[in-house]
């Protein structure tokens, strides 16, 4: 039998009211929500439940909200005794993965990502940075685009290597604008601007990473109980001091999601379960390899469908 990987979504998957049924009906999930409010010292639960959407979209709130949502859904797995062979997250989702493999407590994770989000928002003034998803070009073609933009003194760097034909660029607003033109000239099918508050996973985030190192040093990390595939290397990482270094580096480095999935396939994974808000990662996994089983679990109903499938039913998300 193949192995199971838990995947945790990143920023952009949040929505007002996410998890409402789960929080209302499941005492363990509700407890996670209460723990988040207590750890942060402000009512994150109110922002998750009622918004407004503009506030939930802000990086400083979106990040702890998504870690809270993923950890709440994770309680269903813990309660049922369903365990992963590997865990991984997409950018911010790596913190949810660290909670899943017991390297970080939930309280420490939610506090860290609130700080992380605040520093990332402050690193580049609003409107000066941008991100865009490029469809239809490969890594090498986009690296050529990035080099041409750099020669002009602007920044457009590969930020998210998501799946074949989908790579996100991040950089200065002007750099991303120029990169969009060049990418289309090279044959890109589409270039889609992303609604984000900064140029995440680019060198422009280095100041945020430098400031965040202190918070990472002070947070207690343990050795993961389940192998964690790191964003920055797409390899298993296990030593707390290495995890700290990689989390700082992750802020200004590409998210190697496609490579991470391929590495887990090499290690025997054939079932990927996305835990938390949305099903974006399921879609990316299927574009990487259509033969993989994928499930998106965001509430008890989707959890029970997945549990039935793992017992022999073949439905996927």
Q: Which two tokens stand for residue 291?
A: 């033969």
Strand-pair partners of 158: 169
Q: Which two tokens stand for residue 229?
A: 């595939």
3-state secondary structure 27-55: HHHHHHHHHHHHHHCCCHHHHHHHCCHHH
d(C-alpha 70, C-alpha 66), whole Å: 6
Whose CA is closest to 246, among 257, 232, 235? Answer: 232
How long a stretch of residues is the chain?
A: 317
d(C-alpha 53, C-alpha 191), whole Å: 25
Strand-pair partners of 167: 134, 161
User: In sequence order, what DSSP letters do the residues of 242-257 get, joined into one string?
Assistant: HHHHHHHHHTTS-B-H
The DSSP output letter for 224 is: -
- Greatest C-alpha distance within the chain: 56
CA angle 212, 59, 102 (to 5 degrees): 60
Strand order in the sheet with 129-135: 156-163, 166-172, 129-135, 190-193
d(C-alpha 25, C-alpha 79), whole Å: 14
User: In sequence order, what DSSP letters do the residues of 98-150 get, joined into one string?
Assistant: HHHTTSS-HHHHHHHHHHHHHHHHHHS-TTSEEEEEEES--HHHHHHHHHHHH
The residues annotated with a catalytic role in the active site are: 91, 201
């Amino acid at each position: 039998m193949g192995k199971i990987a838990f995947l945790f979504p990143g920023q952009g998957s949040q929505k007002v009211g996410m998890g409402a049924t789960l929080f209302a009906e499941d005492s363990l999930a509700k407890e996670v929500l209460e723990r988040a409010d207590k750890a942060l010292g402000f009512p994150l639960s109110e922002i998750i439940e009622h918004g407004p959407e503009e506030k939930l979209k802000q990086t400083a709130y979106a990040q702890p909200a998504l870690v809270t949502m993923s950890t709440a859904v994770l309680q269903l797995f813990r309660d049922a005794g369903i365990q992963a062979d590997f865990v991984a997250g997409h950018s911010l989702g790596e913190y949810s993965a660290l909670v899943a493999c017991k390297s970080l407590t939930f309280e420490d994770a939610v506090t860290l990502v609130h700080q992380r989000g605040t520093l990332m928002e402050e690193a580049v003034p609003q409107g000066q940075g941008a991100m865009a998803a490029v469809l239809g070009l490969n890594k090498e073609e986009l690296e050529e685009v990035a080099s041409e933009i750099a020669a002009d003194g602007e920044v457009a760097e590969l930020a998210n290597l998501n799946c074949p034909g989908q790579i996100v660029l991040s950089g200065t607003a002007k750099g991303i604008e120029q990169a969009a033109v060049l990418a289309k000239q090279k044959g890109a099918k589409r270039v889609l601007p992303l609604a984000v508050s900064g140029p995440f996973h680019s060198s422009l985030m280095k100041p945020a990473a430098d400031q965040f190192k202190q918070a990472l040093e002070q947070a207690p990390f343990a050795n993961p109980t389940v192998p964690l595939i790191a964003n920055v290397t797409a390899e298993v990482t296990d030593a707390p001091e290495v995890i700290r270094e990689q989390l700082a580096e992750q802020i200004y480095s590409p998210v190697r999601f496609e490579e991470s999935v391929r590495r887990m396939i090499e290690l025997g994974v054939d079932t990927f379960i996305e835990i938390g808000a949305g099903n974006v990662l399921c879609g990316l996994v299927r574009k990487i390899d259509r033969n993989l089983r994928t499930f998106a679990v965001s509430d008890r109903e989707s959890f029970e469908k997945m549990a039935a499938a793992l017992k022999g039913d073949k439905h996927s998300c």
